[in-house]
Structure 1
Amino acid sequence: MTEDWAQHRAILEAALDSIIAADHESRVIEWNPAAERTFGYPRSTAMGRDLAELIIPPELREAHRDGMEHFLATGEGPVLGRRIEVEAINSAGRRFPVELAIEVIQVEGNPRFVAYLRDLTERKSAEAALLESEQRLAATYQHAFVGISEVDLTGRFLRVNEELCRITGYTSDELLNFTFSDITHPDDLAVDLENFRQQVEGALGNYTLEKRYIRKDKQEVCVELSGSIIRDSADRPLYAVRVVRDISDRIRAERQQALLVHELNHRVKNTLTTVHSIVAQTLRIYPDPSRATQVVGERLMALSRVHDVLTRRNWESAVLSDIVAEALEPYADFSERFAVSGPEVSLAPRVCLSFAMAIQELTTNAIKYGALSVPGGQVAVTWDVERSGSMLRFDWQESGGPGVTPPTRRGFGTRLLEGGLARDMNGSAILAFASDGLRCTFEVPL
């Protein structure tokens, strides 16, 4: 064996790619170890065989033979001297992609074809997996329920997803002309910029903060932002990834909750003040514990019933007719002796409570001493809106009862009606002790 041949054989043996040589009749004259591993034929089996029968898929063999004949006739071949991708087949019949390069050498006046083949199965699988991963990432990026952006080291948007466009009201093309500073609320910008600067310089890792954007329509939107930085292998910053979540609903809910807690505290204090007044005044007027207990209970039940009305309306307001109906409901035995009429008027919670207490006091007094204490007595409960809708006038007019004489002293009911309740309603109350029956008139601003 000559030195050149030994070197040639060593190269064939060590090559990682398949090296196959064929003569002008497409008979295999060289088949290296890499070809054995790739195609599954031992060298002894492959030598002398028709190359087309060994590694070319059946439907391509005729084209291979035509190409050989064309080269032998013209000296030209469309695939010679080029690197192309084709499909090959191994001994088990498995098809797989290969990269092919063919060179022609002349030996004793006859052409010899040397093919270099590289199995592309793993590379193609990796490329397919990478493509699938990129497509999955792109789909996730675009359709995520959070806004995602990539920004350069000056804060300019490089890439944005659909949700960020929805949050800010800008199109992706518009955002790509901005930095995140351009759409950040001025009051929130300094903290974000300082964190971003420290992050780019490597003094700060990921950070999270709450901030506001100014939308395209000039409205504010509250977001929770999480910022991270992407660096190269030398730890140099490349770009930043910023993820934002719209928390406007949460912020509104928190503010509403704080407002409701404050309002609840205010209402509880008012209710407790009312209860304290009821109990204190009742105990002064009724020294008998059992009677005082009864009166306090009646007045607290009236307060409870109007609370039910307000609860059904979420404590936003209540209709006066509902308040009157609830206040009179315990006195159903007298229902035919009441004439109730008036337009639909919505009242604030505090005014509703005052009206309920007033009706309770007036009804109790009418049953004890007034029109409802004798057969045939009547009570007209009417109201109307006056002064171009700015004032409510409420009248309680008794008739057909015993003669009325002005009291010699102001009792709890009188003080409650003319003082506390009128004051709570920011209005006025006038009690008229006419001979034909008690009349009470409230004027309440709407």
Structure 2
Amino acid sequence: MSKATAPRPYSWLLVLISVLPIIMLTIGAMALRYIETRMIATAGETLALSAAEVSDKLDRFLIERHADVLMMARVFSVQSSNRVFQSAYVAELKTAYPDYLWIGATNELGQIVVATDPSTLGRDYSAQPWFQAARSGQGVHMGDVEPFAVMGGPDAIAVTASITGPRGEFLGVVTTRVGISGLEHIMTGTLRSFRQREGFWGALEYQFLSEKGLAFIDSDLDHKGHVNLKRLGLPSALASEESLSNYVEEEHLRRHVPVITGYARTSALGVFKNLQWTVLMRMDRRDVLAPIREVLWNLGLAGGALVIPTFGLLVWTVTRVRREYRHAQQERAIAMEAEASLRESEAQTRRIVEMALDGFIGMDAAGVITEWNVQAEQIFGWPRQEAIGRRLSTTIIPAQYREAHERGLRHYFATGEGPILNRRIEITGCHRGGHEIPIELAISPALGQGGIYTFSAFVRDISKRKLAEEQSRSHQEELQRLNEALDKRVQVRTEELAAVNESLVAEVTERMQTEASLKSSQEALQKLALQLLRVQEDERRRISRDLHDDINQRLALLAMDIEAVEQRLGFLSEDLSQEVRAIQDRVVELSDVVRHLAYQLHPSILDDLGLPIALQRLVDEFTARSRIQGSFGHKDIPSTIPQEVAACLYRVAQESLSNVARHAAASRVDVELTRSRSGLTVTIRDNGVGFDSEQPGYGPHGLGLLGMKERVALVQGDLQVSSAVGKGTTVQVVVVVPEGVS
């Protein structure tokens, strides 16, 4: 074989050497492509995770504002009329939380009555959507970002809740304006954490989009709020409507370079679904791939070297894996930081509960106490440290009700129904000292994560109110005893008068049996009758004075005591105050009845102001009581009239008016008191149906007229009655006034 045709040894080595670089370059290109894809995916996932972290913080921020406005609405419901307290409360809240630009409250008409900015007081916001939503009972209204004109036009979020009274009536709304500076702080804090991570590269852009797609927060301040990214068709903005969190590769709208954008949408954790924002975090694709391109440049410089580039690639790959692991560790630290932030939010919620005016108790599904505020410590005597972890049934529920409590809890878990849930009830609680106390209780269940129920209870001590009710009952019983004593006293006096009258009748009968002394007996009877009238009038006067000065004064003092109780209880319950006021009205009504009874027994005005004024008063009261038009006139009446004469004329006029009201069916009656040379004359004239005065004994009117005649005869007077059917009745009394009376 010639040398020219002999095979070359190791010729395949050339081929191998030629093929190996191609294979290595191909493998290297594929590896670089894979690494670039993974780097882009890792960067996108990191951006999406950071955007999700920001959206989660936004959710917690908005939920905290949601809880704040609910607590403010509850405080305003309890202190609905205390404007001074409300103004101080909103001022202190705005100072404690700088995120609030403005806090205000309206009345039921939509007019601002309390505000941190005095210039807004009196403004009418009844036509605003947030007021309409709160008044229609839609719960807490969370508005989207929009300029707030009161503070000069900065972007703000409106959070509004309705204020309701103890019976659920609408009293107004409490509304706040939350500045977006707090949201920017959330983003800048997350960016600082992002920049501190090992392996960070390039510049980072971010944007907050409203639900409509308007950028209300932008790292590029020149374009903040000027563009609607959804209308411009930005892929990341449109993709946020399909999923909560992810990343996309897209072209930058202004610089027209490829970028990687991570996005996340707020969810509000199910509290409010009408407010969904989008967080965008964006990096240039060139910055993400800068490290791998640097490696590619080094490989190009190495030329045909195979082992070192391959080994370097392996080392670089391991380094990248370790770096990704460190990134994962950092993400875990971020998650732990988010958990710590959540605990801080729960602590703030606990502080809000501590500020509540009622006792608050939280309980888990096992019946174990999980929350216990200061008011609960004051009501039941258990410190928070000792109460937390105890079973509710053995802590505040009396022994006789514990089995019913456990049974009701099991029934609720089985059926979802509870007779005492979501309403206020009055029950008996157990104090740490062992004694029972009356309480007002409202329990609300809530279904948490994992389908686990928790229970929240608001408790109010009503011991003072129950004590006031007991005092009111004792006052009522005292009043009843006074009424019974008054009835017995009047009955005893009446029986005494009846006994005296019976003895007088017996004595008159005995004297009339003696014909020989008929005239003297008649005179003695007349004297005794006059004395009886005097005794009767004196007794009437004494009973009237006792009723007025003793019983009536006691009733007045009782009414004053009830009024004092009402003033002390006015701030506890309006219903209780109304009940006490009703008792006071009944005491006042009873006092009027006693005063009228005293006046009927003996009008003190007759002794104090004289006969003319007493008759005028009698006619006025008759007109008011019977609705029959009455008039009174007098002329030339002496300043002094004997007591027997005045009493006789007054009683005759009183009896005559009573007969007119009962029998005459009249529309008018006239009473006239005049003086003649022989004495005084009283004339009572009505336009009623009248009667036949010629009938013996005056028919059904005879007994009353006979009594008036006998009374007039005792004071040496004369009574004349003239009447006819259909022509009314005239009663005229003439009484002789003894000489020497002027």
Higher share in helix: 2
If the length of structure 2 is used for normalisation, what is the TM-score? 0.27
- Report the structure number with the largest CA radius of gyration: 2
